Structure 1
Amino acid sequence: MKGDFEVSDEQEIEQTDMEESEEEEIPAVTLFSGGMGYVPREEADRISQEGFYGDRLDDGKLELEPVEILHLLERQRIELVDDGGERVESKDIVNLLIEEDTGLWTRYLVFRDLRSRGYAVRSGFGGGIDFRVYARGDRPGPDTANQLVYVLKEGDSISLNDLDVVTEAAAVARKKLVFALVDQNGEVNFYKVAQAILHDKIGDDE
């Protein structure tokens, strides 16, 4: 029988050695279409390899997810254009993305915090798992993530059933589960989650 779940004190996820370049660079002109970003093939390697962003498409372009778009815009590594090639203001894109996904900004704060600590981070695989975080020295692609991150905003709640689902998913995948709690000031705290299994005592006379 499944029982309680234990949340430890705040835990620091193991920091990787991955560091992004702080040198000035010319922003990559990136197409914004359908809520996603598309870095042209000639710029894809630079953006992908310096920070491990996006997924490579068959045509060589680099596809960026919304949290990656926000992070690269903040770091001034990309400049967005629309389907007609006209430059799109960053603030307009930010507002549009947040309007379409009200939880995006909270997830972005967690994504940004993890990246600032030097982690390689990729999106989760559904079921409430928001991000996959890679172990020290590991890289997306040849390696697999060893930690899964579930994002919560202060004041939000999670049902015991949902908690059970994400915890068991992490256990089945043999990965550590970490909750990221974002407070009202935008500060992020990480908590390691452990699953406790309780067994029925049948025929126990004590």
Structure 2
Amino acid sequence: MAGRISSNEVVIDNPSEAIRNYNKGYFGRMVGETLHLHLIEATFLVEIGRVEVERDGKTVTLNELMDMGIKVHPNFEISYLVFRDLRQRGYVVRIPQDGEDGFDLYPRGGAPHSHSPTYLVKAISERSPFLILRISDWINGIGKRKLMLGIADEEGDLTYYSVKFFRMRGKMKEEESYEGNITVMGDRSMVWDEELSKKLQENFIGRTFEENVVQLSLMETAYLVEKGATAMKGNKKLSLKSFIKYAKKIQPDIERRLYAYKDLRSSGLIPKTGFKFGSHFRVYREHIGEGHAPYLVHVIPENYKSTWTEISRAVRLANSVRKQMIFAIAGSGIDYIRIKRMTP
């Protein structure tokens, strides 16, 4: 017996057919002895030949059903690609009944009556904007589930990402203060003070220029001035406020990067420039030389907007050099979000 179109869903009235389709894959929801299918679920069942759908006594084709779905549900075609792929991989995928956008993905072999969903899956087009605030809101709203993003490219291929808040910890003890003079040059600084240079080398701050001489970035200079070192521009001593004002003309986002740098240092981590990897920092958990940097950290504002092409490039590059891609959201506080490629 065929299902029938009712409002914006498909209903199977025959009790035995309803129970059979529900029990074999947990499609739809049972209301008494009838099965109510979302148009995405009905489209999939029509595609694989398990269900026929009628409207006014006439068979509804797959093409017609998809056209109906596109008119009724925003993002229908992208959602269907992700739903279809996960179902073909053998997963139980359910559409939340509370109207929540996305799919509940159950563990392999799991069922709604015996398991809780492992992931909330969001289906996204590669052409959709990447909005970090939206990602953060999604993570905050999923309860005990994890967040999976299924990105459909223009050819319909899918790339999946696991996304979560992430906290890094290291083994480096942060120094409480630094003393000595720092010579501010153009877009960097030099430390000629031998005692201060040795202390910086021990703490992996800056780059050794020659024995007992260290070169610093403007951000590292600001960090050290805040901890007691003295910044000199010619014969003039610069306060932290004056130095930041000077540095912002060269590096407008210095305060945001400094915020993240200080937080990473306070967590026992060693942040170094990540320019060669297209990010702000490469981050070590242990002394440099004892292990590689497992993280790339890119510092962004709360209103950060980008494209999924850029995010894909960043995550793939990080993966190719055995690192994890972390986005540090610097606002009133600082949150870290890890985006990692995955195979469901």
Q: TM-score range by the shorter chain?
A: 0.7 to 0.9
Residue-by-residue CA offset, 1:50-73 (whole Å, 9 max, x unaligned): 121110002x10000011011011
Structural mapping, 1:2-81, within 5 Å? 28-40=1-13, 41-58=15-32, 60-81=33-54
State which of 58, 64, 68 in structure 2 corresponds to 1:96: 68
Q: Is the 8 A contact 2:92 2:108 kept in 1?
A: no
Q: Give the TM-score, by structure 2 length.
A: 0.46
For 1:43, what is the secondary structure of its paired residue? Answer: helix
**Could you tell me how far apart the structure 2 residues matched to 1:85 and 1:29 are?**
10
Show CA shifts across 1:9-45 (max 9, x none): xxxxxxxxxxxxxxxxxxx410111120111223111
Q: Which runs of 5+ in 2 are unaligned?
A: 169-175, 178-226, 228-344
Aligned residues: 169
- 2:150 aligned with 1:168: no
Q: In the TM superposition, what whole-angstrom CA distance separates every residue of 1:134-158 from its partner, at most 9, and x where no partner exists? A: 1132102332101111111012114
Shift of residue 197 of structure 1? 6.0
What aligned pairs does 1:84-163 form with structure 2 within 5 A after superposition? 84-124=56-96, 125-126=98-99, 129-163=101-135
Q: Identity of aligned pairs, percent?
A: 26
Contact kept in structure 2, 1:80 and 1:90, CA below 8 Å: no
Structure 1, unaligned runs of 5 or more = 1-27, 199-203
Please provide the CA RMSD for this pair.
2.0
One-letter code of the match for 2:43? L
The SS at the match of 1:164 is: helix
Cα distance in 1 between the residues matched to 2:115 and 2:87: 18
Determine if the alignment matches structure 1 residue 181 to structure 2 residue 151: yes
Question: What secondary structure, in the 3-state scheme, does the structure 1 residue paired with 2:140 have?
Answer: helix
Which of 181, 185, 191 is the equivalent residue of 2:161? 191
Contact 2:39 2:65 in 1 (8 A): no
Compute the TM-score of the two structures, normalised by the length of structure 1.
Answer: 0.75
Distance in 1 of aligned mates of 2:135 and 2:167 = 14
Residue identity opposite 2:114 in structure 1 = P
Contact 2:123 2:150 (8 Å CA) reproduced? yes
Which structure would you say has the larger RCO, counting Cα contacts within 8 Å and 6 or more residues apart?
A: 1
Q: Contact 2:121/2:150 (CA < 8 Å) preserved in 1?
A: yes
| More helix as a share of residues | 2
Measure the CA separation in 2 of the matches of 1:182 and 1:90. Answer: 21
Distance 1:51 1:131 in 2: 14
Distance in 2 of aligned mates of 1:67 and 1:162? 24
- Report the Cα offset of residue 85 of structure 1: 3.1
CA distance in 2 between counterparts of 1:37 and 1:141 reads: 23
CA offsets, 1:122-171, max 9 Å, x none? 014555x401101132102332101111111012114222111101122x
2 CA distance for matches of 1:90 and 1:147? 28
Give, as a single letter, the amino acid of the residue that structure 2 aligns with 1:154: E
Asked if the contact 2:91–2:109 (Cα under 8 Å) also holds between the matched residues in 1, the reply is no
Q: Which amino acid aligns with 1:141?
A: H
Structure-2 separation of matches of 1:153 and 1:57? 33
